[in-house]
Amino acid sequence: MNKLFGTDGIRGVANRDLTPELAFRVGRIAAALLKERSKPPLILIGRDTRLSGGMLEGALAGGITSAGVSVRLLGVIPTPGVAYLTQALPAAAGVMISASHNPIEDNGLKIFDHDGMKLSDEMERKIENLYYEYNRFFAGNPRPVGRAVGQVAHDGEALRLYRSFLRERSASLSGMRLVVDCGYGASCGFAPELLEELGATVHVLHGEPDGGRINVQCGATDPAKLQQEVLRCGAAAGLAFDGDADRLIAVDEKGAIVDGDAIMAICAVDMVRRGALKKNTLVATVMSNGGLDLLAGEYGFRLLRTAVGDRYVLEEILAGGYNFGGEQSGHIIFSDHSTTGDGLLTALQLLTIAGDSGLPLSELAGRLRRLPQVLYNQPVATQRGWEENPAIAAAIQGLRQKLGHGGRVLIRASGTEPLIRIMLEAALPEEVLWEEARSIAGIIAREQG
């Protein structure tokens, strides 16, 4: 069966895989299916700074308005801002044009329903099916004309609502010195201004909204420069956002990375202390370090694991009545406040905990005693059939035996890039794990091209 949606919306090389024609069709179909959810019918569109964003924005808006639904263009805005505003305004749906952490040539469409939630699997399948039956779906349905055609308006004020929402969820950051890496993406301008409003002194890296450099050796995917600048400036912390600012990687005052696992550890311990962690449960994915299991036992909470993807974390949070979870990559969900991962909200929660505790970020993060773990991404020509490949299966089985009891081998196809991702974890020296990861990556490269 043909597929449009991956693990995080529709994604591909802009103007080759993700074409204006595709965006127009998806916009028209989504509007036709979702327009009854707000009166008058309205869909929001936001984007990051990618060079292809304006092209896809115009096509998407054309498709939506051709179905008789009006569009409000939010401009460059973080993904969680679109999710928040979709429910706050309210709107029938919101669409973020972004490929998150992917290379600059990629782009994507993330669609949120009227509650600010990513579309259900059922709704994605419905859009997907109708996309491939497009002509039949719209046959006999006359296009609206005259006053019935949807209108397009630019909204420069909506971002202020999102800023107010974030400001209300942070304590004063007065006296705190920070370095902020905007990754040339959607947090440019917005994040530094908000942090300064809250009292912080901010040194900005990669702060120009430059779609030709988004995520290139900067931001949450490459925080090396941030680490250097935190040390040079004597900052209390560094904050790195990805292209659409829905995830955060932090740096402590000693220049060490504070990833999503460490952020979850810090926040979970604080929430347990305050009695704010619902059902004393943290929801993480199978990729999170086994040190979180040890921390959970030490501080009296439960760690519940899901498949990889923040949508699965959120599904488990909602199904189980929990309120906190996330991914090692820095997608962190505080469901009492937000329906999706939010890098800025996460940064404010983290900085508030650090400020209230009076402890340096390194000490807070140091509570997480990590098990040795390595992550390796192997580019492939095709992901098809890798799980049934006998040579790969035999190599995985042999590796599990080598790592022994307590070792973990997680190999999966990326849902956003042409990669096979390899994670190994065991009580062994890291150099041994790296050697094993490279070995199995070589087998995968040989078998999958």
Residue 335: Cβ within 10 Å count: 18
The residue annotated as part of the active site, out of 52, 66, 98, 100, is: 100
Instruction: Name the CATH architecture for the domain at 161-255.
Output: 3-Layer(aba) Sandwich (3.40)
Tell me what pLDDT residue 102 has.
92
Tell the CATH superfamily of the 5-157 domain: Alpha-D-Glucose-1,6-Bisphosphate, subunit A, domain 3 (3.40.120.10)
For the chain, residues classed under CATH 3.40.120.10 are: 5-157, 161-255, 258-342+359-365
pLDDT, one tens digit per residue, over 173-217 is: 999 999 999 999 999 999 999 999 999 999 999 999 999 999 999
Q: pLDDT confidence of 417, banded at 50, 70, 90? A: confident
Supply the CATH classification number for the domain 258-342+359-365: 3.40.120.10
Nearest to 341, CA basis, from 391, 425, 423, 285? 285
pLDDT, one tens digit per residue, over 57-101 is: 999 999 999 999 999 999 999 999 999 999 999 999 999 999 999
Q: pLDDT confidence of 155, banded at 50, 70, 90? A: very high
Tell me what pLDDT residue 449 has.
76
For the chain, residues classed under CATH 3.30.310.50 are: 373-448
Average pLDDT of every residue of the chain: 95
Tokens of 108: 């994507």
- The answer to whether 100 is a known catalytic residue is yes
Tell the CATH superfamily of the 373-448 domain: Alpha-D-phosphohexomutase, C-terminal domain (3.30.310.50)
